[in-house]
Structure 1
Amino acid sequence: MGVQKPSIPKGTRDFGPAEMTRRTYIFDTIKSVFRTYGFLPLETPSMENLSTLLGKYGDEGDKLLFRILNSGDFMGGVSTDDLDPQRRGALSSKICEKGLRYDLTVPFARYVVQHQSEIAFPFKRYQIQPVWRADRPQKGRYREFYQCDADVIGSKSLLNEVELVEIVAAVFAKLGIRVTLKMNNRKILAGIAETIGHADKMMDITVAIDKLEKIGIEAVNDELRAKGIDDEAVTALAPILSLSGSNREKLASLRETIGGSETGVRGIEEMETIFGLCEAIGTELDIELDLSLARGLNYYTGAIFEVKAKDYAIGSICGGGRYDDLTGIFGMPNTSGVGISFGADRIYDVMTGLELFPSDTDVTTRALFLNFGAEEQRAALRAMKRVRENGIACEIYPENAKMKKQMEYANRRRIPFVVIIGSNELAAGTANVKNMVSGEQRSVELDEIANALEA
């Protein structure tokens, strides 16, 4: 019988060294920006108690939770009645008490409530960890993927929204991606629903208009009618969704249209404040008020964000918004927060597609010292010690192999420099440093190798 070929579960990925250096570059860039805005790092366990996770993501989300079998004799407390197909839910809760986290937001809320006495509010945290969803794998959708979140909790101030806008501007400027930040406000959407006489159907309306860009106005109108929105309301909605002009002009038009809704007016005022402060700072970012932006998640209550790449066709690469009661699910009500999440996988695809990674991202080892035998090895090892003390990555070819083989290794690894200390160099107390890109070779004193490699 043949040996079974190893494989990994569907919807998961290996990241080889080339991908990891690029992913690390993205994460390091995002983290460096988070830190300059005073965000603190946080990590939570991969698994949470199912009681923490269940009921937080709706019925659909509950189905997509990966459950973990209790360790040991997990069937120990199970009776024959529990095996009845009608009682599957009860059986599952007996044999699985834990599950893999589905996102970083619910564990964050759990952490805040559990540690509220130790935390200084407002609490600014960033978290970059994998999450798991038992979804059907398809292109761009995985069962294990990383989220990259920053949230401020315990403050209603709109300065937090403005700082998140600045963070978006800083991250994408550093990564070299030209983007548009689309913004809207759930209070404005509530005001629109109220104005067209369907305040009770706000969720149906937002779910439909969120698809405007994908399916077009006619298909959105059909979906609205199917949800019981009358023709008069559909007609009243159309001009609101097609408002044009600057953000200020759109807000002014909205005041005229939905000015009778108290909630709607509050949403307009919030956006005027955010846009006004962004202008005052001089944000370079292209910011657009987009009334079709709804973001599917139910817990958003104020400003909502979505970032699109200008030069590459892909879904949103970053999104977020204000939520007023995230910790209420764990018994700590009235704690407002605002957060943003960067889509690392999509950002990676954009940067690969547009060739935005710096050319030296893939270069991990700067110099390979060739191996010419026992005496030369000792000299090379001593020289390498000094090179590494200067913070330069180097390695030695472990075998005294043919020079051609050693040079081929340097090429395959894309190592930019090769250092040669053969018998002639050993006698002269020098080394030959060869630039593998230009082919240029120069002789330097052994103490000067580090300087030669920096050039």
Structure 2
Amino acid sequence: MAQKPSIPKGTRDFTPQEVARRNHIISVLRKNFELFGFQPIETPSFENTDTLMGKYGEEGDRLIFKILNSGDFLNKTTESAYAEKDSNTLAGEISEKALRYDLTVPFARYVVQHQNELEFPFKRYQMQLVWRADRPQKGRFREFLQCDADAVGSDSLVQEVTFVQLYDAVFSELKLEGVTIKMNNRKILSGIAEVIGASDKLIDFTVALDKLDKIGEDGVVKEMLGKGITEKAIEKIRPIFRASGSNMERLDLLRELLKTSETGLQGIEEIAYIFDKIDHLGLKTAHLELNITLARGLNYYTGAIFEVGAPEGVKMGSIGGGGRYDDLTGIFGLKNMSGVGISFGVDRIYLVLEELGLFPAQALTGTQVLFLNFGEKEALYCLKAVADLREKGIKAELYPDSAKMKKQMSHADRRDIEYVILAGDQEMAKNAYTLKHMKSGEQNEIGFDELVEKLAR
């Protein structure tokens, strides 16, 4: 007996309805990306392994899917790596390529390779699949669509202001009102590490701090202690674990804590600039919030960092995030190329819109009208009408077989097609069609022009 087929954990098949809903989200993103001046690009699904490794921190590197070299790859390994079962060395020898982990590092590689062809500042958007060897759970998949927008070649904080507005515009158009755009600055985090004497443990410090919402204060403290950060140092920053009040009150708390750190104060002034501009410009439906413990565990962020939370009451991880990366292209040989970018989590946005019932009816629309097939002559009559309706943008099709009418009607019902058309000798003699509404059962004999008017509503 043949084994039942399956797909890898963390991947999915999509039904026609799910694809239609995803396309609705993607079309809103594309429209707003282009309204804000971003241009589309695409990059390969896999990159050279050395392009990706070392760019995401230790935790990120472990989640990169590596592709085995073709041919007899084991014969090309060194005896020492094979004998000692050294995973890291062995992986480097048997895997020269890897599936992309995100779109930002490939974008940095793209900018370096095409720098002489690009006009800077260069603003791009990209919507492609990425892969992560993560533990699957609700809203977290091993294969998922990432939708990014980046701007490189400018140090101006106007770019960050623009990205806040872009988030607000997209989520407002999706009717996902009340999202929270959380912001922090890596310079602030560097300043905090500096004033507590833990600059040499900045990565460990930020990775632990970023988990505050997941593991709580006690969990963060335990992880920091495990990484060698002293209890005395942790006591100095306990106030930020419980920071509350307005954005200005939180900035005042930071100014007091970081008054001896030049780097930290610079980060405060950068984020204060962004908040001031947004206060003057206003947002449609989103809320902008300073989150002092937000760290985003990626090494390449150097300035502002973003994370978007779903509206209150919806249990979901972040539905967007990003930040500024002043030196990302430097790892590929292009210095002094500042950039900032954000990402939209389409899969999580989908789940939130579904939970809240926010998908518009038109996002689910498939075939609007099905012509029933009563035989060769009738089918030809219907096919002409189908072609004419399609020319007018109406989704129409003919049932392919002259099956029993009950079977054809059931097919339309199961596909949730709103109308069916019956056309036999009587209708053909009058150059007319009998249009039947599937839910109400109401039917009328009408001409083609009236049919178009009815279906185009």
TM range (shorter): over 0.9
1:52 aligns with 2:51: yes
Q: Report the secondary structure of 1:182's partner residue.
A: strand
The aligned runs of 1:4-43 (5 Å cut-off) are: 4-43=3-42
The aligned runs of 1:372-387 (5 Å cut-off) are: 372-387=374-389
CA contact (8 A) 1:300 1:321 kept: yes
CA contact (8 A) 1:40 1:126 kept: yes
Whole-Å Cα distance in 1 between the matches of residues 85 and 418 of structure 2? 65
- Could you tell me how far 1:74 is from its partner in structure 2? 4.5
The aligned runs of 1:376-415 (5 Å cut-off) are: 376-415=378-417
- Could you tell me how far 1:198 is from its partner in structure 2? 3.2
- Aligned residue in 2 for 1:245: 245
The amino acid that maps onto 1:3 is: A
- Aligned residue in 1 for 2:280: 280
- Could you tell me how far 1:377 is from its partner in structure 2? 1.4
Task: Structure 2 unaligned segments of length 5 or more: list them.
Answer: none
The aligned runs of 1:215-226 (5 Å cut-off) are: 215-226=215-226
CA contact (8 A) 1:365 1:393 kept: yes
- Aligned residue in 2 for 1:441: 443
Residues 199 and 83 (structure 1), Cα distance of their counterparts in 2 relative to 1, 3 Å cut: closer
Whole-Å Cα distance in 2 between the matches of residues 271 and 233 of structure 1? 25
- Aligned residue in 1 for 2:309: 308
- Aligned residue in 1 for 2:320: 318
- Could you tell me how far 1:330 is from its partner in structure 2? 0.8
The amino acid that maps onto 1:416 is: E
The amino acid that maps onto 1:428 is: K
1:107 aligns with 2:106: yes
Kindly provide the CA deviation profile for residues 340-371 of structure 1, in whole angstroms up to 9, marking residues without a partner as x: 11111111111111111112322211111111
Q: Report the secondary structure of 2:302's partner residue.
A: strand
- Could you tell me how far 1:97 is from its partner in structure 2? 2.4
The amino acid that maps onto 1:356 is: L
- Aligned residue in 1 for 2:182: 182
- Could you tell me how far 1:442 is from its partner in structure 2? 2.5
Whole-Å Cα distance in 2 between the matches of residues 337 and 225 of structure 1? 34
The amino acid that maps onto 1:40 is: Q
Whole-Å Cα distance in 2 between the matches of residues 13 and 370 of structure 1? 34
Residues 362 and 234 (structure 1), Cα distance of their counterparts in 2 relative to 1, 3 Å cut: same
- Could you tell me how far 1:68 is from its partner in structure 2? 2.6
Whole-Å Cα distance in 2 between the matches of residues 211 and 226 of structure 1? 14
Residues 215 and 52 (structure 1), Cα distance of their counterparts in 2 relative to 1, 3 Å cut: closer
CA contact (8 A) 1:363 1:414 kept: no
The amino acid that maps onto 1:335 is: M
Whole-Å Cα distance in 1 between the matches of residues 278 and 202 of structure 2? 29
Whole-Å Cα distance in 2 between the matches of residues 134 and 334 of structure 1? 32
Residues 71 and 308 (structure 1), Cα distance of their counterparts in 2 relative to 1, 3 Å cut: same
Kindly provide the CA deviation profile for residues 242-292 of structure 1, in whole angstroms up to 9, marking residues without a partner as x: 333321232233223322221111111111110111122222321111111
The TM-score with structure 1 as length reference comes to 0.93
The amino acid that maps onto 1:208 is: A
Kindly provide the CA deviation profile for residues 78-107 of structure 1, in whole angstroms up to 9, marking residues without a partner as x: 677775344665554444322222221111
- Could you tell me how far 1:393 is from its partner in structure 2? 0.9
Q: Report the secondary structure of 2:341's partner residue.
A: strand
- Aligned residue in 2 for 1:200: 200
CA contact (8 A) 1:444 1:452 kept: no
Residues 292 and 66 (structure 1), Cα distance of their counterparts in 2 relative to 1, 3 Å cut: closer
Whole-Å Cα distance in 1 between the matches of residues 201 and 82 of structure 2? 41
Q: Report the secondary structure of 1:300's partner residue.
A: coil
Task: Structure 1 unaligned segments of length 5 or more: list them.
Answer: none
Residues 15 and 154 (structure 1), Cα distance of their counterparts in 2 relative to 1, 3 Å cut: same
Whole-Å Cα distance in 2 between the matches of residues 388 and 38 of structure 1? 33
- Aligned residue in 1 for 2:130: 131
- Could you tell me how far 1:324 is from its partner in structure 2? 1.0
The amino acid that maps onto 1:216 is: G
The TM-score with structure 2 as length reference comes to 0.92
Q: Report the secondary structure of 1:296's partner residue.
A: coil
Whole-Å Cα distance in 1 between the matches of residues 256 and 72 of structure 2? 66
Identity %: 56
1:369 aligns with 2:371: yes
- Aligned residue in 1 for 2:211: 211
Residues 92 and 256 (structure 1), Cα distance of their counterparts in 2 relative to 1, 3 Å cut: closer
Whole-Å Cα distance in 2 between the matches of residues 249 and 67 of structure 1? 46
- Aligned residue in 2 for 1:70: 69
Residues 65 and 258 (structure 1), Cα distance of their counterparts in 2 relative to 1, 3 Å cut: closer
CA contact (8 A) 2:139 2:351 kept: no
- Could you tell me how far 1:156 is from its partner in structure 2? 0.9
Whole-Å Cα distance in 2 between the matches of residues 90 and 249 of structure 1? 50
Number of aligned residue pairs: give it: 454
Q: Report the secondary structure of 1:269's partner residue.
A: helix
Which stretch of the first structure deviates more once superposed, 284-293 or 216-225? 216-225
1:420 aligns with 2:419: no
